[in-house]
Amino acid sequence: MDPRALVLLAGMPFFHLTDLSQARLESVSFFLVLFLLVTLGVKALWNRLGRDVPRLPRLGFGAALALVSLWALGFQLVLSMIAGGRELMTPGAWEKTGTTYTLTRAGPPPEGELAREARRQRLEELREALWVHAARNGQSFPASDLSPELPEARWRVVGASGLHFIYVGGQKADGPRAPLAYEPGLFGPTRWVLFTDGDLRQVPIEDIHAALLRGPP
């Protein structure tokens, strides 16, 4: 056999970290180096202060390391309490972005079939209350959504505590067709609208504003 035909493989095995593991190792190494530098700084400052205050004991590296560790644990405890209190006061308002937290951006509620029907149902309940009021008051609707004739809960939109329907007061049930109440800006460019003739439909906000500017026909 021709010895030149033999292929010999030799060498040491080589292991390498993934990019994520390498980044984490670098972060941990940086943190440890910084922690040791802070410990040396605290030790130097403490011993420098001891020259002017003889009652202060001299601080070794081990004692300085323990002191910095206690400070770090104390800061971590305080930050955890702040984060927990923030979440309790505003549940669901914060979302994690990388290593920090940011405010959740408010947007329109999910427009599924159930959500759409729930929004319509809430406006239907307001319509019933308004027409009962009009029947008892010469076909006149309440002057505003702050009037005590209707319970405050009747004016609230679905899924948003405290928000009211936008109400156009001073109208009558037997008057010309015009927007009477519609959803606020939380629900996007297309809103459920209640008209003075009792009709309920979804209308683009531009058409609502145009109808309000145009006035009764």
Examine the domain organization and report whether 121 and 79 are in the same domain.
no
Examine the domain organization and report whether 26 and 81 are in the same domain.
yes
Above 70 in pLDDT, residue 89?
A: no
Per-residue confidence (pLDDT) for residue 144, from 0 to 100: 87
| pLDDT tens column, 163-192 | 889 999 889 987 788 999 999 888 888 999
- Domain contains 1: no
Q: How confident is the model at residue 109 (pLDDT cuts 50, 70, 90)?
A: very low
| pLDDT tens column, 114-140 | 688 888 999 999 999 999 999 999 999
Above 60 in pLDDT, residue 1?
A: no
In which domain, by residue range, is 25 found? 19-92
- Domain contains 128: yes
Name the residue among 179, 183, 185, 217 with its Cα closest to residue 199.
179
- Domain contains 102: no
- Domain contains 9: no
Examine the domain organization and report whether 81 and 117 are in the same domain.
no
Number of other residues whose CB lies within 10 A of the CB of residue 28: 10
Examine the domain organization and report whether 73 and 126 are in the same domain.
no
State the burial class of residue 47 (Cβ atoms within 10 Å of its Cβ: 0-12, 13-18, 19+). Answer: middle
Per-residue confidence (pLDDT) for residue 136, from 0 to 100: 92
- Domain contains 105: no
Number of other residues whose CB lies within 10 A of the CB of residue 87: 13
Q: How far apart are CA 146 and CA 140, in angstroms?
A: 15
Examine the domain organization and report whether 118 and 59 are in the same domain.
no
Examine the domain organization and report whether 206 and 119 are in the same domain.
yes
Above 80 in pLDDT, residue 107?
A: no
Examine the domain organization and report whether 122 and 72 are in the same domain.
no
- What domain count does the chain have? 2
Name the residue among 105, 100, 104 with its Cα closest to residue 92.
104
Q: How confident is the model at residue 15 (pLDDT cuts 50, 70, 90)?
A: low
- Pick the residue with more confidence: 127 or 146? 127
Number of other residues whose CB lies within 10 A of the CB of residue 57: 10
Per-residue confidence (pLDDT) for residue 127, from 0 to 100: 93
Examine the domain organization and report whether 142 and 192 are in the same domain.
yes
- Domain contains 56: yes
Per-residue confidence (pLDDT) for residue 17, from 0 to 100: 62
Q: How far apart are CA 75 and CA 182, in angstroms?
A: 50
All residues at 6 or more sequence positions from 149 whose CB lies less than 8 Å from its CB, including other chains? 133, 137, 142
Domain finish residue from 59, 92, 125: 92
Contact (CB, 8 A) for 182 and 166: yes
- Pick the residue with more confidence: 207 or 83? 207
- Domain contains 6: no
Examine the domain organization and report whether 126 and 163 are in the same domain.
yes
Q: How far apart are CA 131 and CA 140, in angstroms?
A: 9
Q: How confident is the model at residue 104 (pLDDT cuts 50, 70, 90)?
A: low
Task: Determine the 3-state secondary structure of 173 from DSSP.
Answer: coil
Examine the domain organization and report whether 83 and 118 are in the same domain.
no
What DSSP string runs through 119-145? HHHHHHHHHHHHHHHHHHTTTBPPSST
Per-residue confidence (pLDDT) for residue 28, from 0 to 100: 84
Conformation bin of residue 207: beta by default, left when phi > 0, alpha when psi is -120 to 50? alpha
- Pick the residue with more confidence: 18 or 90? 18
Examine the domain organization and report whether 125 and 193 are in the same domain.
yes
Above 70 in pLDDT, residue 4?
A: no
- Domain contains 12: no
Q: How many residues can be counted in the chain?
A: 217
Examine the domain organization and report whether 150 and 205 are in the same domain.
yes
- Pick the residue with more confidence: 216 or 138? 138
